[in-house]
Amino acid sequence: MNENLFTVLEELRKLLLQYLQTRIALVRTRLLIRLVKAISLILGVLLAGFIVLLVVIFLGIALGYWLGAWMGSYALGFLAVAVLYILIFMLVYVFRRQIFLRPIANLVIHTFLDENDEH
């Protein structure tokens, strides 16, 4: 009877260890999937920001030339664009939490806390 009990307990211990190893592997895999989602989300936002930055630069150059031709001085045109950039920068700086920090933090948090992982 004792040998049978020890055999059953040994099998139970082996099954429990196997279950725990499988569970740890599952948690690691889910964490890795969420981490990859968050990194790809951040890289996507950075890439989109870079493209927007390039568009803004080229539009600023075009606006500077257009204003310069309209004002009769390219220096005044580019100065007007610089003043516009400074005003936009000040507004973005004042509202940076609402514009950037909170939305990006919420996206990353929702990516990590998404219970409906699509594998």
Q: What's the pTM?
A: 0.65
Domain count, the chain: 1
pLDDT at 1: 64
Residues of the chain with pLDDT under 70: 1, 115-119
Range of the domain at 10: 2-113
The answer to whether residue 119 is domain-embedded is no
Q: What is the pLDDT of residues 70-91, one digit of tens each?
A: 999 999 999 999 999 999 999 9
The answer to whether residue 79 is domain-embedded is yes
The answer to whether residue 58 is domain-embedded is yes
The answer to whether residue 118 is domain-embedded is no
The answer to whether residue 52 is domain-embedded is yes
Q: How far apart are CA 80 and CA 4, in angstroms?
A: 90
pLDDT at 118: 54
The answer to whether residue 91 is domain-embedded is yes
Nearest CA among 49, 47, 57, 51 for reference residue 85 = 57
The answer to whether residue 22 is domain-embedded is yes
Write the CA distances from 89 to 80, 93, 112, integer angstroms: 14, 6, 31
The answer to whether residue 25 is domain-embedded is yes
Burial of 34 (0-12, 13-18, 19+ CB in 10 A): middle
Q: How many CA atoms lie within 13 A of 6 on its CB side?
A: 3
How many residues belong to the chain? 119
Q: How far apart are CA 26 and CA 8, in angstroms?
A: 27
pLDDT at 107: 79
